[in-house]
Amino acid sequence: MSFKKVTFLFLLTFLFQLSVVNLIEIKNAGPNLVMCMMIIITFLYEEGYRSIPFGIFFGLLLDICAGSYVGPCALSMFAVGIFAAACHVWLNVEKIITLIASAIISTVIYQVAYYGIMKTLGSPMGIEYAAKMLPVYIVYNVIVLVIMFLVMHKKAEEYHNDRYTNEEV
């Protein structure tokens, strides 16, 4: 996937994250579109790990626009990026069941990392409350990732086919 396309997709998810998610939030919880985009690109494309810097950059932007401090979202995003890259290497990530399992673990990693950083910085929020919200985030992220997978999987296949065709030529 070209640099321009990746930038455009991340920019779109970032803008939607701060406004359009407002339409589907329940109990102040919604999906993490930027994280889902980073995971799906890492999974579906050969050098998908290159999307991790995008995840970090747009995580920093999310922190700047709607976070108490700059950095927690970016660092959590980086942790998820490493996990997704490891999944890409070790697992067959084009199976939907692997994708769902990865989405669940990624959401847990993200929320634990984010909560841990915020708690270290003195946030009064308790682990019980954060844990109570976790299933909502998991459900949202699984749904978004599956939708993204269904939309982008075909495109990624075309990309792979084109590449192999070119190699044969």
**Measured distance CA(88)–CA(92) in Å, rounded:** 7
Does 32 bind other proteins (CB under 8 A)? Our answer is yes
Among 1, 6, 9, 35, binds other proteins (CB under 8 A): 35
Residue 62 interacts with other proteins (CB under 8 A)?
Answer: yes
86 contacts other proteins (rule: CB under 8 A): no
Decide if 119 contacts 125 (C-beta within 8 A): yes
Would you say 74 or 93 has its CB closer to other proteins?
A: 74
**What does R_g of the chain's alpha carbons equal in angstroms?**
16
> Do the beta carbons of residue 58 and residue 34 sit within 8 Å?
yes
How far apart, in Å, are the Cα atoms of 66 and each of 54, 130, 135? Answer: 18, 18, 22
What letter does residue 49 receive in the DSSP assignment?
A: G
By CB under 8 A, name the one of 5, 22, 47, 94 that touches other proteins.
22
Report whether 117 contacts 72 (CB < 8 A).
Answer: yes
What's the CA angle centered on 113, arms 21 and 126, to 5 degrees?
85
Binding string, 98-137, against other proteins, x = CB under 8 A?
------------xx--xx-xx--xxxxxxxxxx--x---x
Least distance (Å) from other proteins to the CB of residue 97?
24
Q: Is residue 143 a contact point for other proteins (CB under 8 A)? A: no
Kindly state the smallest distance separating residue 46's Cβ from other proteins, in Å. Answer: 18
Binding site for other proteins (CB under 8 A): 15, 17-23, 25, 27-35, 56, 60-75, 78, 82, 110-111, 114-115, 117-118, 121-130, 133, 137
